[in-house]
Amino acid sequence: MDINKATEAARRRYDRIAPLYDIMVGLVEKRFRKWRQMMWSKVEGRHILEVGVGTGKNLPYYPSHAEVVAVDFSGGMLKRARSLAARGKASVSLRQMDIQKLEFEDNAFDTVAASFVFCSVPDPVRGLMEIERVCKPGGKVVLLEHVISANPVLAWLMNLVNPVAVWFGGENINRRTADNVRKSGLVVERVTDLAGGIVKLIEARKKR
């Protein structure tokens, strides 16, 4: 797979669907809100990075004490996030950036957070290695993610329909994200099942 071509194709897809994205996810978002709140309750420190901010679904849950930088590779999605940030009270610096090539110095953030992002990153391990790089030693990484089921029958079905899911929304529903987190060099501390084994809250930490 050519990562650059795959990344550019994904960027174009999200730019294209950005005006309709909030409508497309409107029904499921009602369920996601409590999970987003849970994820943001786990962050530590003052300097926070959110990767894959999208249209800004997490902005209402940012800690009031924190300085948040949020990035996304889609200019269309960021446009909507900026509009939401302007209407709200969230203190955030929004920047266009590829998760797979973060433009930050090493050891820059106390916590890195992402929600429903690594199902879409063309090279998820590379993206997670970048997160590991920019996180401070001993810092926290919190991910809310779709993952493949441990149930063999459901996993078979998820693998079967994954090409359709990717074509429709750009999301791989059969990723093993906790395993990918470990491959990146991060230490997984806790994995919480939130929805029948297919949505997980993954808490990890950078080695000191």
Residue 91 has pLDDT above 90, yes or no: no
Average pLDDT, the chain: 93
Mean pLDDT of 15-40: 89
d(CA 17, CA 130): 26
Residue 1 has pLDDT above 80, yes or no: no
Match domain 3-146+175-205 to its CATH number in 3.40.50.300, 3.40.50.150, 3.40.1550.10, 3.40.50.2000. 3.40.50.150
CA distances from 4 to 51, 54, 173 (A): 18, 20, 21
Residue 89 is predicted with a pLDDT of 67
pTM equals: 0.94
d(CA 13, CA 20): 12
Answer yes or no: are the C-beta atoms of 185 and 125 closer than 8 Å: no
**Region label for 199, one of left (φ > 0), alpha (ψ between -120 and 50) or beta (otherwise):** beta
Residue 10 has pLDDT above 80, yes or no: yes
Residue-wise pLDDT tens digits, 98-142: 999 999 999 999 999 999 999 999 999 999 999 999 999 999 999
